[in-house]
Structure 1
Amino acid sequence: MAQGFSQEPGTHGPMEDLPAKGLRRVRLWAWTIAVGGFLFGFDTGVVSGALLFMREEFGLDSVQQSSVVSVLLIGAMIGALGAGRVSDRIGRRWTLALEGAVFVVGTVIIVTANGYGMLIVARVVLGLAVGGASATVPVYLSEISPPPIRGRVLSLNQLMITIGILVSYLVDLAFSSAEDWRAMFAVGFVPAAVIVVGALTVLPESPQWLITHGHIDRARKTIGAVTTEERADELIERARHKREEQQRGGEDQQGARALVARHARPALIVGLTLAAVQQFGGINTIIYYAPTVIEQTGLNASNSIFYSVFIGLINLVMTLVSIRLIDRVGRRPLLTFSLLGMCVSIALLGLAFVADLGSVLTLIFMVLYIAVYAVGLGPVFWVLIGEVFPSHVRAVGSSASTTVNWLSNFVVSLVFLPLATVIGQGETFWIFAVICLLGLLFTARYVPETRGRDFDEVDQELRSRFGDRHPAGQ
């Protein structure tokens, strides 16, 4: 069971193995799990509009504003780092429920905050939940999804992130006239409650986790709920056989040691590098600071929030396009196109600031950048970290990748405004363009195609690209 309901090499699970009733169940589970992605997007995006009014109420200077944004990322790093170990111990389902509960606690603290200190505490707590969910959701989605629809199911995470961001912009807009930033954050109560209730009442435990922990009958029941009994028995036996092979080959160790072993190292390099490129390519300088950036072109705060909604909307629309394409054209073509487009568009965005081209062109280049990001690097990164790692290190591999993602996010969000002040906003965007170019070169050389493949096939291409011809486990 290397990739959810895995297949033998060369076979990819025809759709007839997935009856309509089973497909509906998988979709229900996937949408419920992906609410974690929604909260990821909402709690990272809502601060962009709220910050304009929080700074007035509490008299926040530029450093304090940056810290309110970026401190969430410290919590996210801690949450992501610990999520893999927690989900391996207590299961994906209970881990997601726990993360939902932490979202609730963080929301309560920030809605009742009476000063800068409570804002910081609340953002750290919310960060723990955001980081944990960002590591847990891709693994959970991967392990409940059959290969024929795995790319689309995994893309739901990014779709829900973009919906969360768009909703956060709309919520900011709705409450901007009243300058009610507390109400902006309070909306997050609803999806947080959905996660807790859904995890406890709707979701099954991951079949992969159940097999790994010896709960074979429960795993068979979960798989049987979405496919035929015969197919469930076949997949269970294949998964048990694969696990025995891993044990004989010395691949059964878990944790950090297993992650840096030769058989997992290429996947780790791909995961960590794409995690860094996704953030150092500049995406969250747009997501977090869109109203602030637009405001600097001459628009007032309310208009800046209004125009940032268009950025969130194009993010959502292009993510939907990506979901349509990802199981048709593959991961590599989307990733290559995306990084090339990001490089060009953010370079043009930098030019718009350096040459003072005005609000319209600035907004056009921002929208273009978001569009090419959302059709490729945005969803493809989260899909790949659910596909490239061996099953026994998938949770910790996802955890490591998302930790680097949040660390990179933290660095970029913390230094963006101060760096832009020192060298200029346009010149800062040009640095991001160079990083996108480096990411494009890395993808061309090292990133494998995972569309319709089981892990053995993905692993073979990974080893070939990294020049490793040794059999797995050696």
Structure 2
Amino acid sequence: MQTKTSPAYQKTNTAGPAGPKLGLITGIATLGGLLFGYDTGVISGALPFMTLPGTEGGLGLDPAQEGVVAASLVFGAVFGALFGGRLSDRQGRKRNIMLLAVIFFVGAIGCALAPNTAMIIVARFVLGLAVGGASATVPVFLAELAPASRRGQIVTVNELMIVTGQLIAYSSNAILGSVAHDGDIWRWMLVLASLPAVLLWLGMLLVPESARWLVTQGRIEDARKSLFRTRPAEAVEGELDEMQDMAACDAKIGHGSWRDLRTPWVRKLVFLGVAIAFLSQTTGVNSIMYFAPTVLISTGLDTQASLVATICNGLVSVLGTLVGIYLLHRGVGRRPIIITGQAGLTLALALIGIFFLLPESTLRSYLVLAGMLVFLFFMQACIGPIFWLLLAEIFPLRIRGFATGLAVSFVWTANTIVSLVFPILINAIQGSTFFLFAAINVGTLIFYIRSVPETKGRTLERVEEELTLRFTGPIPLPKQ
């Protein structure tokens, strides 16, 4: 048997085995985020072609069917997040992401080949399972792989990949729509998502499993090997010991199921995560991301200008996410970032509502667009990166996948509600819709000020200990 001081141990563990370093691992894993972004963004450009009659290459969708096709992915994501989180607890983060890559591929091919409306709805629902599963698993996987000092920047790369995927979708839609005159071009828009799905599956073959998950399975030597691929050799044993100590305490919680919510402090912590997740979507962000052309057309802007403006939304989202990564790199805490962002986007929503009150003109259209871009900047620089990061940080290791999946399912539940209600509101009360969202977000700002914890610079084990103390008192030690 090897010990930490034995010659055999020193010979085999002074350096990590060959394999990708943390930056490359992050790039591979966040292809799941890229697929998330592309599949949620591409539908905005595909729907106009799907509404064409079958003789012209479309599916002849009516307005009600358009809404169902758009919402079917979001609805699938609710279930994907719930079950994806539990699967990642049971079979591991790596294997779960590889499974999701297969589902992404099958869903993309199914969408491209769908012969009728029913099949496109089914295929979009399948894609939603993958999107929801990725949104629950990838941030957790990155948070568990990253050292505490770099966790914020690394997890936020997933948000960057999401908005990059959306930008690619908007841009490719515009390019394909302008150069192709065939009504079935929407099939090419949708099938493009199959390519990064293949790359994700192949890339994950090179990536180590989460050491923290391996510790919960009692696979200590495998966990040690995983850490040697992402940590300096001298830091491995100390971090591994900390993981084992926390895993021993967590063993009393369970294996991640609904029964764990009977424990009062676990229930409170999960409620906190659910609230953060749900409120991130009641900002109204998806009303702008999904329906920006509709909003701008309602102000008097023509269709072509509205489509170009959608690309601006994607560009600002990418820029905002880069700013968020920079703030985290500079050591700014989670609380000040999310609180500042919430205040900024609430003000932007109020301004959009005010601009709608102006007489119809080109100036009004561009003022509304400017307000939308300011909103998206604060959302993507401050809210988007931080709420995904917090969901990956705040839950105990033993139930992290389950609890994150449950919280993320509420991201998609709120997303579905906003997506279904917004078109009705904008048609009925026009710009007053944005005053309503602003009022909701004042309440969210108060909640963030009172409830959001600070997790900067702490290991996940330290975060868990602090939040447990906050809700219940000292962590009970396991019986000897």
* TM-score, normalised relative to structure 1: 0.90
User: Which structure 2 residues correspond to residues 282-321 of structure 1 after superposition, within 5 A?
Assistant: 282-321=284-323
In 2, Cα distance between the equivalents of 1:23 and 1:259?
A: 39
Q: CA 1:69/1:338 → structure 2, altered by over 3 Å: closer, same or farther? A: same
Which position in structure 2 is the counterpart of 1:264? Answer: 266
- 2:468–2:474 CA contact under 8 A, matched in 1: no
In 2, Cα distance between the equivalents of 1:210 and 1:464?
A: 25
In 2, Cα distance between the equivalents of 1:463 and 1:204?
A: 29
Which position in structure 1 is the counterpart of 2:168? Answer: 167
1:64 aligns with 2:50: no
Question: 1:188 pairs with 181, 190, 193, which one?
Answer: 193
CA-CA distance at 1:22 after TM superposition: 10
1:349 aligns with 2:355: no
| Greater shift in the superposed pair: 131-140 or 175-184 | 175-184
Q: CA 1:293/1:210 → structure 2, altered by over 3 Å: closer, same or farther? A: same
- 2:353–2:435 CA contact under 8 A, matched in 1: yes
Which position in structure 2 is the counterpart of 1:26? Answer: 22
Which position in structure 2 is the counterpart of 1:278? Answer: 280
1:431 aligns with 2:432: no
Which position in structure 2 is the counterpart of 1:239? Answer: 243
In 2, Cα distance between the equivalents of 1:338 and 1:110?
A: 36
- 2:89–2:256 CA contact under 8 A, matched in 1: no
* Cα deviation digits, residues 444-463 of structure 1 (max 9, x gap): 00111111013465356546
SS in 2 for 1:110: helix
1:445 aligns with 2:450: yes
CA-CA distance at 1:349 after TM superposition: 1.4
Which position in structure 1 is the counterpart of 2:83? Answer: 82
Which position in structure 1 is the counterpart of 2:337? Answer: 334
Which position in structure 2 is the counterpart of 1:134? Answer: 135
In 1, Cα distance between the equivalents of 2:464 and 2:262?
A: 15
Which position in structure 2 is the counterpart of 1:147? Answer: 148
- 2:293–2:307 CA contact under 8 A, matched in 1: yes
- 1:21–1:226 CA contact under 8 A, matched in 2: no
Which position in structure 1 is the counterpart of 2:37? Answer: 41
1:92 aligns with 2:86: no
Which position in structure 2 is the counterpart of 1:6? Answer: none
SS in 2 for 1:160: helix
* Cα deviation digits, residues 29-67 of structure 1 (max 9, x gap): 111111111111110011112122222333333222211
Q: CA 1:458/1:241 → structure 2, altered by over 3 Å: closer, same or farther? A: closer
Which position in structure 2 is the counterpart of 1:9? Answer: none
Give the ranges of 4+ consecutive aligned residues of structure 1 lying more than 6 Å apart after TM superposition: 19-24
Larger gyration radius, structure 1 or structure 2: 2
CA RMSD of aligned residues (A): 2.3
Q: CA 1:225/1:88 → structure 2, altered by over 3 Å: closer, same or farther? A: same
- 2:80–2:129 CA contact under 8 A, matched in 1: yes
In 2, Cα distance between the equivalents of 1:72 and 1:456?
A: 35
Which position in structure 2 is the counterpart of 1:5? Answer: none
**One-letter amino acid matched to 1:90:** Q
CA-CA distance at 1:473 after TM superposition: 5.1
- 2:85–2:137 CA contact under 8 A, matched in 1: yes
- 2:37–2:162 CA contact under 8 A, matched in 1: yes
CA-CA distance at 1:435 after TM superposition: 1.8
- 1:22–1:227 CA contact under 8 A, matched in 2: no
In 2, Cα distance between the equivalents of 1:291 and 1:20?
A: 51
* Cα deviation digits, residues 279-330 of structure 1 (max 9, x gap): 1110011111122222333334333221110110010011001001124111
| Greater shift in the superposed pair: 394-403 or 24-33 | 24-33
- 2:426–2:433 CA contact under 8 A, matched in 1: yes
In 2, Cα distance between the equivalents of 1:456 and 1:206?
A: 14
CA-CA distance at 1:253 after TM superposition: 4.6
- 1:448–1:461 CA contact under 8 A, matched in 2: no
Q: What is the percent sequence identity of the aligned residues?
A: 37
In 1, Cα distance between the equivalents of 2:98 and 2:460?
A: 28
In 1, Cα distance between the equivalents of 2:145 and 2:83?
A: 22
- 2:167–2:314 CA contact under 8 A, matched in 1: yes
User: Which structure 2 residues correspond to residues 393-432 of structure 1 after superposition, within 5 A?
Assistant: 393-422=399-428, 424-432=429-437
* Cα deviation digits, residues 326-364 of structure 1 (max 9, x gap): 241111111011111111111211222343452111110
**One-letter amino acid matched to 1:141:** L
- 1:338–1:376 CA contact under 8 A, matched in 2: yes
- 1:259–1:397 CA contact under 8 A, matched in 2: no
| Greater shift in the superposed pair: 273-282 or 263-272 | 263-272
* Cα deviation digits, residues 47-105 of structure 1 (max 9, x gap): 11212222233333322221111111111011101011111121111111111111111
CA-CA distance at 1:149 after TM superposition: 0.3
- 2:76–2:127 CA contact under 8 A, matched in 1: yes
Which position in structure 1 is the counterpart of 2:367? Answer: 361
Q: List runs of 5+ in structure 1 lacking aligned partners.
A: 1-18
In 1, Cα distance between the equivalents of 2:406 and 2:287?
A: 23
* Cα deviation digits, residues 231-261 of structure 1 (max 9, x gap): 22232233222222334xx334532222452
Which position in structure 1 is the counterpart of 2:475? Answer: 472
Which position in structure 1 is the counterpart of 2:109? Answer: 108
SS in 1 for 2:98: helix
In 2, Cα distance between the equivalents of 1:473 and 1:260?
A: 17
User: Which structure 2 residues correspond to residues 369-384 of structure 1 after superposition, within 5 A?
Assistant: 369-384=375-390
In 2, Cα distance between the equivalents of 1:260 and 1:371?
A: 40
In 2, Cα distance between the equivalents of 1:65 and 1:296?
A: 18
Q: How many residues align?
A: 451
Which position in structure 2 is the counterpart of 1:251? Answer: 253
SS in 1 for 2:393: coil
Which position in structure 1 is the counterpart of 2:7? Answer: none
Q: CA 1:232/1:205 → structure 2, altered by over 3 Å: closer, same or farther? A: same
